[in-house]
Amino acid sequence: MRRPPVITVHEAAQHVQSGQTLLVGGFGMTGNPVHLLHALADLPTRDLTYVANNVGEVGIGGGRLLRNGQLRRAVGSYFTSNREAVQAAQDGSLEVQLIPQGTLAEALRAGGAGIGGFYTPSAAGTVIAQDTDTRVLNGREMVFVPALRGDVAFIRAWRADRAGNLQYRLTEQNFNRAMATAADVVIAEVEEIVEVGEIAPEHVHTPGLYVDYLVQATLTPEDLGSSADVGGSDRKVDERRLNMARRALKELTPDSVVNLGIGIPTLVADLITPEMRINLHTENGMLGVGPAPQGGGAMDYPVNAGKVPVTALPGASYFDSADSFAMIRGGHVDVAIMGGLQVDAAGNLANWAVPGRPLLGVGGAMDLASGATRLIVTMNHTDPDGTPKIVESCTLPLTARGVTDMIITDRAVFEFRGGQLTLTGLMPGSTLEDVRASTGASFVEALRE
């Protein structure tokens, strides 16, 4: 049986040459091969193309390579989690290619499967799809995405056996499984290495034929950055936000599969009880998400899409990001609850590009908005200066076209009935006159008694 060599992190880092494309697993710092990246940061290797969901955190993981000036280009879905990556993109020292999160995962899976590319509805009609091959397939507009491959992949797993078989822990599969298939040289950083047979065949997530080298490295809370402890979460909880979460919860039915975006939607998770039989899905690879724990971090718990530690309900399951977005695009997610920056009278959603800031953080929003069976948007009714966020026509870059089914704000509830924006409810403390004055789009009034 083939046995990949066990080498040190410093030996592993030397397999990456200047000018190469490096695939890096992880979602935030969860499942991130931080020790391999830090060893690479000690070398003079430069001009790298860095392919990952994001560029680590400030000074950690890929963030250390960025700070050293070793990255020439970054390909990923969410760079705004690292302020130094944003600054590098703005000053031109880092070239950035933004890809929706699910599209990134599928492009890596295609690269590993020897497929040249694929068509997806995600990002159709948005600025990200400009200058791409676009076709209408099965009645839907879709854009072509070429497959992604790398010269070297750094991935992180929980355990490996001497044959190179890998087993991941909790939500640490994320991008690691696809990346393990899509590079010429694959180096797996693992918590422990066991003898052949100690990982049962049915528990192997990545077969050893993909793995060229193994590195043993012990994870510490410091390696996890903001996910090290649930207390590090910056979630804002106030009565208005909770009211929106409570109203959104009323739209969920037993046995439905629901995806919660970051921000206000994450508050819904804390309101769900097991008796409600609602299956929460998170795009980084989990079904059966429970509320946040009272303490602890990603060393002890899975994390959600906001990189916040969460609990797992009985019957929960874990999978990788490619499978997660296949569930979304395949119509297996019943409801998505997302935040918004603007929604217009045609049901178009804009929720990823902040005015005056670079376009650097789409995440999974485009995949979710176009793939979920029903979309509920939760957001404040106006910007802090009083500018309406419900408008006749979106002025911000679109996330998806004509996808919104319901809007829940701190002042009102709107539904799209027969394609018409319709006011169906008022939130606590709000009046009809207030909603009329603060809404920037015409609407039908059909308040329930």
pLDDT at 274: 84
Q: Is the pLDDT of residue 448 over 80?
A: no
Catalytic sites, residue numbers: 283
Band (pLDDT 50/70/90 cuts) for residue 236 is low
Closest CA to 221 of 301, 144, 150, 155: 301
Q: 7 pLDDT band (50/70/90 cuts)?
A: very high
Residue 122 has pLDDT above 60, yes or no: yes
Beta strands in 138-272 (DSSP E): 140-146, 150-161, 166-167, 183-194, 213-216, 257-260
pTM score, whole prediction: 0.93
DSSP class of residue 149? -
Model confidence band, residue 197 (pLDDT cutoffs 50, 70, 90): very high
The predicted-structure confidence for 323-346, as pLDDT tens digits, reads as follows 999 999 999 999 999 999 999 999
pLDDT at 52 exceeding the cut of 60:
yes
| Strand bridging mode 412-417 / 406-408 | antiparallel
Residues in the chain: 449
**Whole-number Å distance between alpha carbons of 67 and 64:** 5
**How high does pLDDT run on average in the chain?**
94
pLDDT of 237 above 80: no
pLDDT for 233: 54
Q: What is the pLDDT of residues 351-396, one digit of tens each?
A: 988 777 777 888 999 999 999 999 999 999 999 999 999 999 999 9
C-alpha to C-alpha distance for 260 and 280, rounded to whole angstroms: 7
Share of the chain above pLDDT 90, in %: 82
Which pLDDT does position 232 carry in this prediction?
A: 58
Average pLDDT over residues 184-210: 97
- Could you tell me the sign of the dihedral formed by the alpha carbons of 384, 389, 392, 393, in that order? positive
Q: Say whether pLDDT at 406 is over 80.
A: yes
Q: Identify the pLDDT of residue 350.
A: 95
Q: Which of 28-32, 97-101, 295-299, 335-339 is least confident?
A: 295-299
Average pLDDT of 295-303?
A: 89
Q: What is the mean pLDDT of residues 236-263?
A: 92
What's phi and psi for 339, nearest 5 deg?
A: -80, 170
What mean pLDDT is predicted for residues 151-178? 98
Half-sphere exposure of 236 (CA within 13 A, CB side): 6
pLDDT of residue 110: 98
Residue 320: name the closest of 22, 61, 105, 50 by CA.
105
Q: Which segment of 86-100, 131-145, 350-364, 418-432 scores lowest on mean pLDDT?
A: 350-364
Grade residue 449 by pLDDT with cuts at 50, 70 and 90.
Answer: low
pLDDT in tens, 86-115: 999 999 999 999 999 999 999 999 999 999
Model confidence at 296: pLDDT above 60: yes
Write the CB contacts of 131 (distance below 8 Å, at least 6 apart in sequence): none
pLDDT at 218: 95
